[in-house]
Amino acid sequence: MRKVNIGLVGCGTVGSGVVQGLARNGALMGSRLGVELSLGGVAVRNAGKARAARVAKRLITTDWEALVRDPKIDVVMELMGGTTTARKVVAEALKLGKPVITANKALISAHGESIFRQVEKNGGNLYYEAAVAGGIPIIKSLREGLSGNRIQRLYGILNGTCNYILTQMEAEGRDFEDILAEAQRMGYAEAEPSLDVDGFDAQHKAGILASLAHGFWIKPSQIFVEGIRQITTLDIEFARRMGYCIKLLGIVKKLGDNVQIAVHPALVPERHVLANVSGVYNAILVRGDIVGDTLHYGQGAGADATASAVLSDLADAALDLKNGSMGRVPPFVPHEEKGSVLPMDKAVSPFYLRLSVIDRPGTLAKIAAVLGEAKIGICSVMQPEGHVGESVPLIMMLHDAPDAAMQKALKRIARLSAVKAKPTMIRVENFD
């Protein structure tokens, strides 16, 4: 039976999950695939560190280069994170023609185009199912299962940490920082949690999915991003009173020849299926021109969910090695859908606006005048009772307007003397 030796670079949350998953189901996978899967070596930064997974001492090294170059290693798993050394690990393995499996969305987002060019040139293959939406097989679904479709819309809850924080804020009214620390302890958050809460991780994932869906490479700089730091329990409560919940969404829309792509918090109607995706779960709604709407749901972060995706890539890599084939649907080949990305200024949506204002006659009229001049219609206004003090909350739901017009009006509203704090604006998504 063909033996497939795995070289694991990184044995933290995800790497340990993979080692545990292999110990549990490696033999079953091997018999399904007709190969023998074996852990050939594990490179880490600190060899003496205690790990969640049991790894034989003789397999551990701090020399990733020697591990990757070892002729006995057939497949390299890059599970260390970051974009500097990780890039070298991937480049070195691909140079040697070895298949590489990575969970590193930051790396693919930053260097995917050149990495895929290297794959084309040198052979080998790059597998990255675990890079997007944890255990959900969304890469495979887009690349293979939905390959007969033109993708018209893709809406994703793509960051488990943010969804966990927003869900806990809604359920328990707890403090943001407190919940983030909990998400870190559970292994959901990135080593640098700003990647999560400022939306960059979801930006990386949305870019990878959009590039796959539309066949041309979309750079992170082309993707509008806004995180969840400004969302308060007040916003969550007011949104709920109006029949919405707040989610961090990755949104990809095909509009004519262009693609509109953004990551930002959005008010989602409570009755919509994405409103019910809670905690660390992710979900992606993909609308194809033939299939219609499809929903892909599962845990988006954590050791086991991510390990499951890595193991599915391992199955593909092992079969490729066994059969001597690399014949998958190619990831980013420019084709007839070559297009361009629309700037966020041109995105049109309804808006939620929360202001902190002095409660005196004429305040509302001044705000309405600014919105009127910007041609932004007011749908409803709420000034909840029971708030005392110098300033009170004023919540407005606004009709569809271009983002640029809204941003301009916001600046003017923020300068009004009756407006006492930086306004909070959240876009509303109606999934049309």
Of the candidates 190, 226, 313, 320, which one interacts with ligand HSE according to CB under 6 A?
Answer: 190
Closest approach, Cβ 136 to ligand NAP, in A, equals: 11
> Per CB under 6 A, which of residues 300..319 are in contact with ligand HSE?
300-301
Q: How far is the CB of 80 from ligand HSE (least distance, A)?
A: 14
Which of 196/403 has CB closer to ligand HSE? 196
Selecting among 105, 205, 247, 253, the annotated active-site residue is 205
Q: Which of residues 286-345 bind ligand NAP (CB under 6 A)?
A: 301-302, 306
Considering the rule CB under 6 A, would residue 191 count as an interface residue with ligand NAP? Answer: yes
Smallest distance from ligand HSE to CB 193, Å? 8
Strand partners, 292: 288
Which residues are 224's β-sheet partners?
262
User: Segment near ligand NAP (CB under 6 A), from 5-13, 163-171, 221-229, 339-347?
Assistant: 5-13
The number of residues that bind ligand HSE (CB under 6 A) is 11
Residues 52-111 that bind ligand NAP (CB under 6 A): 64, 79-81, 85, 103-104
Asked if 134 interacts with ligand HSE (CB under 6 A), we say yes
Chain centroid to Cα 77, Å, comes to 20
Residue 191 binds: one of ligand NAP, ligand HSE, none (C-beta under 5 to 8 A by kind): ligand NAP
Q: Which of 60, 136, 169, 189 binds ligand HSE (CB under 6 A)?
A: 189
43-48: long-range contacts, CB 8 A cutoff, minimum separation 24: 43/7, 43/8, 43/9, 43/10, 43/67, 43/68, 43/80, 44/10, 44/11, 44/15, 45/80
78 binds ligand HSE (CB under 6 A): no
- Catalytic residue check, 205: yes
Cβ 279 to ligand NAP shortest distance, Å: 13
Pattern 150-169, ligand HSE, x by CB under 6 A = ---------xxx--------
Q: Which residues contact 302 (CB under 8 A, 6 or more apart)?
A: 13, 17, 134, 160, 186, 187, 188, 280
Given candidates 4, 6, 8, 15, which one binds ligand NAP under the rule CB under 6 A?
A: 15
Binding footprint of ligand NAP on the chain (CB under 6 A):
9-15, 43-46, 49, 64, 79-81, 85, 103-104, 130, 134, 187-188, 190-191, 301-302, 306
Residues taking part in catalysis: 205
